[in-house]
Structure 1
Amino acid sequence: MRISLRALRGRPPVVLLAVCAAVLTLPSIPAEARAGGGAPADRPSARGPAGGGSVTSLPLTGGRLLVGHTARRFDLLGVGWDGPARALAGGTVKVRTRDAATGVWSGWHELEADGEDGPDAGADTAVTAADVAVAGRAPRGATAPLWTGPSDGVAVEVTPGPAGPPPGLRVELVDPGEGVRSAGARSTAAEPADGGRRTGHHQAPRPEIVTRAGWGADESIREPDLEYTGPVRVVFVHHTATTTEYACSDAPRLIRAIYQYHVLSNGWRDIGYNFLVDRCGTVYEGRAGGTDLPVHGAHTLGFNTDSAGVAAIGTFVTDLPPAPLLTGVARIAAWKLGLTEQDAAGSTRLVSGSDGSLYPAGTGAVFQAVSGHRDAFNTECPGDALYPKLPELRTEAARLQGR
């Protein structure tokens, strides 16, 4: 996932309308907006006893100033629209937010408008009338999200690309909630369901993995059916492009926000990543379906088949990834690749499933077993500070495999 965190300096404090912009102070959106096409759509996930969080959609209509309606505070936002994921390609999206505790407004941040994470065509989003009726989702696009921390105000400026403004343009405000509490905060190093998968000569030790229950996933919002791919031969390393300076105890909140954005805003069946790793090196289960199984993710457009996506929680463009985080990424990559005897220091060939990647659909490409997102897509992910660490990760992962 990519997001540019460059603050736009020297800009006036008032939002300049590009093609469509919205400025609001939360809690407030006007009654007249609610009566017309400007009504906010609050789409909460089913809440458990402790609260499952929510996504509030606010329409971006040409120059309307939204005031007056109570809305939930939020910790993460993005801009979404109806139609193809790349409908805003070539455009710009800028946002600024107000700190809920201090009332201070941030500088402007530019969100990545081109869809780069995500499912390959037809793999994740509902595309048939029957699917839409069941899933309640139509194809839609969204920017990369921005983690804001507790916020109660937002301003958005959108300049569309050559295709013009897509329909249904909206800002999505995510409240991660307190999570749905259940037993099983952490998994143990128990044998996976298919014990035969651990009989290989180069199977690395299984790292401790915080389960979905452990980070408070609301399972009612994702698609209930599970999708699998062929044996995992490549692990693609990402960064989440969220805050880097977080307490590790807050990582589950970050993950819940990303999960809700991927499902409720992007319209994906589940969180896109197969695993996530925080700055303390803790590994978290991502997409549902079994950590030891080849779950089909939505992390590397064109190359979600026969691969797994591991996301480092943070933005590592200039911030150096902490050593424990690197250790956690190496451990999960070594274990996951070792399940199918894939040498973590080796390479393999995958076939592109999307023209949106660096390789046209149907084209074969050779990847290192531990690769970066930028190896498959035109993106800075996993960041200029993390990407050069990949050779070290391959070496350590291969050592853990006993090679």
Structure 2
Amino acid sequence: MSRPLSALLAAVLSATPATAGAGPVAPALATTETTTTGTTEASTEATHRSAELGAVEAPLSDLTTGSADAVPTTSGGAEISGGELPDTADPTLRAEVDTPEGVTVVGLVWEGEAAVVDPVTGVTSGATASVRVRQGGEWGPWQSLGESIPADGTDDGDGRWATDATVVVDAEDVQVELSGQVATARVETWTNAVTSDDIARVAALPPVSSTSKTLPIGTREDWGVDRSIRDTPIISSTSKLGVTLHHTVTAPVYDPEEVPATLRSIHNYHARTLGWGDIGYNMFVDQHGRVWEGRDGGLEKNVQGAHAVGMNTDWFGLSVIGDHETQPVKSSQHTSIAASAAWVLNTHGADVRETRSYYNRTRGWTRTLPIFHGHKDVDYTLCPGINLIAIMDQLRVKIATEQLARRTAAHRVGGADRYAVAAGMAREAFPQGTSTAYLAGGYALADALGVGPVAARSGSAVLLTKSSSVPSTTYQALSALGVREVVIVGGTATVTDDVRAALVARGYTVRRISGADRYSLAANLSTRLPTLGGTVYVASGATQTDALSGSAAAAVKGAPMLLTKKEVVPWATERRLREIGPSRVVVLGGPTTVTDDVLTRLRSIVPSARVERIGGADRYAVSAAVARDAFGSAGAAVVAAGTAPADAMTGTQAAARRNAPVLLVKQSCRPASVGSAMGALGVSLTVLAGGTNSLQWQAGSTSC
């Protein structure tokens, strides 16, 4: 049982001294420690400890004192009876590491023979790895760390092996043993404490509901991903064939607030210790009914995982946070597992009722696999545990029902205000960081209407500032993204030189793009787009919502966004159109915002271009029509409230990353025109731009 949350938060990040006489002392070996710092608002420091294993002289059975009925804190398989390890003639190595308070991942890395688990008997052959932990001064039972996995990011290991991440909560000390033909070995631990940010974000993420059409999914930012770990995801143009189910081998009882720290610790172990570059699984489900994004790249896409040898490109890795070799599956997990798997299968066009003949090139076998199967079905392992394996048929029935319900998944990028939402959108759009950010006035959005396509073309973030001072959330985003150059959008009337001076004082290179008015500013911004000809979007400079709808379309097409008055084409716009010489001009909005006289004038300015209007009964219908025109298909969409133009504007950068439209909705539902467009495009994931005051979770999935 984990300690009370108040104790977790009050604790200092330091190891608890071992209790005298509580158990045998491991060989006195040097332990190295490093601390890595994440970049979220609250501290997400991870403590890393590593120790080489040393030879054990005394018999193994004499070196165990823990009771079999001590509080279990981890399990990688069957518990060893009586807390004793079996006698063996193979050399045995041991080490002990004291761990800071928090959620710790333990793993072994070695050179030598692999550890192979018989999926029928559960017996490990080759190397044998075991662990036990001390809590409250008492050692728990020895437990197996299970089978080995490649330690070098390859599928074959090449003689370098590791155990998968085993998670313990509030351990004072960890003791490991490794028996077999092993040359060298070390134990690695990664510990993360629960933060105030974790508590707030877990509270904001609702569990999966059996009565809702929405599948809420916590983002990587929600679990506090360490942005200093930057790896480019491998994305395939094909679809996933199905889902491979895993469990994380986690402490059997944990608090909801401990889940983000758990994911951070697993992320560090997978990315840094194992060299995988990122967390291995595509998605996680916790025992409290919440769903979490795993590997970077977009859940709606075929992102190559690192979860099962020879299966990572074609099969989606879904992992349940828990140890279901020893623990039953909660009813809340039934719903969240089924809803998550059904959403994945619908997104990739697979049917849980079917099977698939599959050739695993790495393992060299061909098997007929259920579309939804366990890790044990494809490798030598007990994963996902006997209790999950026992209900696989029940889950398949529930998944089939969920597939008919066709939920829409939802991420949320929220914040206390428009500045925080913009910062979150920039993080969402640039997980690998970016060197340049465009900075617009938070209450001068007319100046920024043309910035979306320009920023997308150069791979730059879009952030917001106050007129004379930079908000702390904007500064934090600049730091997290690794920005070196800031481009201020607009004149000094909207963003003063005080902002420029403050940024220069912090070491940023700062330049400004401005114009005599919003029309000339949009024209000046468009000169940053090198392509001539093609499509140009023209929207009202007075009615912002039409331009916001077109910004994502323009960003994807690399097209400029120019502005016009209601009845007259401004000279700056006319001049820029003549310079570009477009083949198509798309006017956004109906005659009440841009009159037919303007279209007539545009045809005379660029007579070789096809000038057409995309309009609609309201701003929602316009956004839907623009999306249908610009996108043949889209797995995701950024969804913003029609009454929150700032969120829609900064959401363009996240939309561009996903090759997705920006759609406008009402606070609690999507108008029929938007729902129809989402269906036509194949949108299965919505990214909600803004907090619950602007958008409720169901806004992108429930029809008005």
TM superposition score category, shorter chain reference: 0.7 to 0.9
Question: Counterpart of 2:523?
Answer: none
Question: Counterpart of 1:106?
Answer: 140
Question: Counterpart of 2:317?
Answer: 309
DSSP 3-state at the match of 2:390: helix
Map Cα deviations across residues 45-87 of structure 1 (whole Å, 9 max, x no partner): 33435133132111113359989x9974563343433557937
Q: Distance in 2 between matches of 1:351 and 1:298?
A: 18
Is 1:220–2:228 an aligned residue pair?
yes
Quick check: 245-254 or 272-281, which moved more? 245-254
Q: Distance in 1 between matches of 2:139 and 2:168?
A: 11
Q: Distance in 2 between matches of 1:118 and 1:312?
A: 24
2:183 to 166, 176, 189: 166
DSSP 3-state at the match of 2:104: strand
Q: Would you say the 8 A contact 1:180–1:217 is kept in 2?
A: no
Deviation, structure 1 residue 178: 4.2
Q: Would you say the 8 A contact 2:111–2:182 is kept in 1?
A: no
Q: Would you say the 8 A contact 1:74–1:175 is kept in 2?
A: yes
Deviation, structure 1 residue 285: 0.4
Q: Distance in 2 between matches of 1:348 and 1:215?
A: 34
Map Cα deviations across residues 115-152 of structure 1 (whole Å, 9 max, x no partner): 28996538xx9x9xxxxxxxxxxx95321333221123
2:35 to 44, 52, 55: 44
Q: Distance in 2 between matches of 1:173 and 1:259?
A: 12
Which runs of structure 2 are paired with 1:384-399 in the superposition (5 Å)?
Answer: 384-399=386-401
Which runs of structure 2 are paired with 1:40-189 in the superposition (5 Å)?
Answer: 40-48=31-39, 50-63=43-56, 72-73=100-101, 75-83=103-111, 86=114, 90-99=126-135, 102-115=136-149, 121=155, 140-160=160-180, 164-167=181-184, 169-178=185-194
DSSP 3-state at the match of 1:213: coil
Q: Would you say the 8 A contact 1:117–1:298 is kept in 2?
A: no
Is 1:335–2:343 an aligned residue pair?
yes
Deviation, structure 1 residue 329: 0.9
- Is there any run of 5+ residues in structure 1 with no aligned partner, and where? 1-11, 16-21, 30-37, 128-138, 189-203
Deviation, structure 1 residue 382: 1.1
Map Cα deviations across residues 165-189 of structure 1 (whole Å, 9 max, x no partner): 133x11112212346969987789x
State the AA in 2 paired with 1:151.
A
Q: Distance in 2 between matches of 1:345 and 1:219?
A: 39
State the AA in 2 paired with 1:23.
A
Equivalent residues, number: 332
Is 1:365–2:356 an aligned residue pair?
no
State the AA in 1 paired with 2:138.
V
State the AA in 1 paired with 2:104.
L
Q: Would you say the 8 A contact 1:206–1:335 is kept in 2?
A: no
Q: Would you say the 8 A contact 1:80–1:265 is kept in 2?
A: no
Q: Distance in 1 between matches of 2:224 and 2:327?
A: 28
State the AA in 2 paired with 1:401.
Q
Which runs of structure 2 are paired with 1:176-325 in the superposition (5 Å)?
Answer: 176-178=192-194, 207-221=215-229, 223-229=230-236, 230-325=238-333
Superposition CA RMSD, Å: 3.5
Q: Would you say the 8 A contact 2:147–2:380 is kept in 1?
A: no
Q: Would you say the 8 A contact 2:37–2:43 is kept in 1?
A: no
Q: Distance in 2 between matches of 1:13 and 1:157?
A: 18
Q: Distance in 2 between matches of 1:66 and 1:400?
A: 47
Give % identity. 27
- Is there any run of 5+ residues in structure 2 with no aligned partner, and where? 1-20, 57-92, 117-124, 207-211, 406-704
DSSP 3-state at the match of 1:151: coil
Q: Distance in 1 between matches of 2:391 and 2:113?
A: 30
Q: Distance in 1 between matches of 2:151 and 2:111?
A: 16
Question: Counterpart of 1:382?
Answer: 384
Structure 1 length normalisation: TM-score? 0.72
